[in-house]
Structure 1
Amino acid sequence: MSHHLLLIIHLLCASIWVGGHVLLVFGHLPQALREKNQNIILDYERKYEPVGMTALVLLVVTGIMMAYKYGVSIEYWFHFETPIEKVVSTKLLLLLLTVLFALSAQFRVLPKLKNNPGKLPEMTFHIISVTLIGVLMLVFGSFVRFGGF
């Protein structure tokens, strides 16, 4: 697959992933907190999850494929020696952090949130954290255009 096509898919998926979280933070979260209504968050998550998770999987796949095209194969991950290795490795660390937040939310916070609006502040922390991580990944990815950092 050509690098350009991979990049287009990657950018479309990043738009869905980051855009969906930004919409959640600015469009739905304030209302849920104001009304102390966790169902606003749960309803959004239920609708967004199939699209968002598909986008995330495609982000990972296209990101790894592009890293290989830049010569950053698995044996160079987390070496932080070249500028592109730094970008790839930083994004992989942020991806791991995203996965940890997702697991925490899925198995620890969401089951309790369903019956307890008192868990909204903890879910808010998870939502804002994943959103900020997504924005950081987007910004760091833009450095590839300049040869890395």
Structure 2
Amino acid sequence: MLHQIYLILHLLAASIWIGGHLFLSIRFLPEAFKKKDISILTDFRLKFGKIGMPSLFILVITGILLAYDYDVPISKWFSFSSPIEKIVSIKLLLLFTSLALAVHSQKFVFPKLTSEKMMPVIIEIITITLIGVTMLILGSLVRVGGI
């Protein structure tokens, strides 16, 4: 029963995290680019961060708990020796990549963002969105035994 609670919380948090990034990528990013208006992106970031960051925290915690439930403790991370370990390891690598991109975006991209220099933020937003969707697909493969 505890596993089911972890899974439900993980899926709800993933819905918020991935859904927010898809909404940003599909709805707000094209508008900001077309209008050359960076406030559209910065406003979204400020508003989404209030629910996005807690959902990311929940994703990390429940992901670790689910990995342990699937018998993939920290000692087996990055071993790639079983189908489920492969998924956990790839998802962790993608998580670390997302976190690195988020730090890069906060420290280097958004502070220098101008209406003429939007391409770096566009690339990072699309990349993080694609990483999130990839992680979702990988998570769904756990149900069928991994990859």
Q: Into which bin does the TM-score normalised by the smaller protein fall?
A: over 0.9
Do the aligned residues in 2 keep the contact of 1:98 with 1:133 (CA within 8 Å)?
yes
Do the aligned residues in 2 keep the contact of 1:109 with 1:119 (CA within 8 Å)?
no
Across the aligned residues of Structure 1 and Structure 2, the Cα RMSD in angstroms comes to 0.8
Q: What TM-score results when the alignment is normalised by the length of structure 2?
A: 0.98
After superposition, what is the alpha-carbon deviation per residue over 1:62-95, rounded to whole angstroms, capped at 9, x for unaligned? 0000100111000000000001100100000000
Other-structure match for 1:55: 55
Other-structure match for 1:42: 42
Structure 2 counterparts to residues 77-92 of structure 1, below 5 A = 77-92=77-92
Matched pairs, number = 147
Read off the aligned partner of 2:142 and give its amino acid letter.
V
Q: Distance in 2 between matches of 1:122 and 1:31?
A: 16
Q: State the 4+ residue runs in structure 1 displaced beyond 4 angstroms.
A: none
Other-structure match for 2:30: 30
Other-structure match for 2:102: 102
Do the aligned residues in 2 keep the contact of 1:87 with 1:148 (CA within 8 Å)?
yes
Displacement of 1:15 in angstroms is 0.3
Q: Give percent identity, aligned residues only.
A: 48
Other-structure match for 1:127: 125
- SS of structure 1 residue aligned to 2:79: coil
Other-structure match for 1:76: 76
Displacement of 1:118 in angstroms is 2.0
> Unaligned regions of 5+ residues in structure 2, if any?
none
Displacement of 1:128 in angstroms is 0.1
- SS of structure 2 residue aligned to 1:118: coil
Q: Distance in 2 between matches of 1:84 and 1:45?
A: 33
Other-structure match for 1:5: 5
Displacement of 1:50 in angstroms is 1.4
Q: Distance in 2 between matches of 1:21 and 1:3?
A: 27
Displacement of 1:122 in angstroms is 0.7
> Unaligned regions of 5+ residues in structure 1, if any?
none
Q: Distance in 1 between matches of 2:90 and 2:45?
A: 27
- SS of structure 2 residue aligned to 1:119: coil
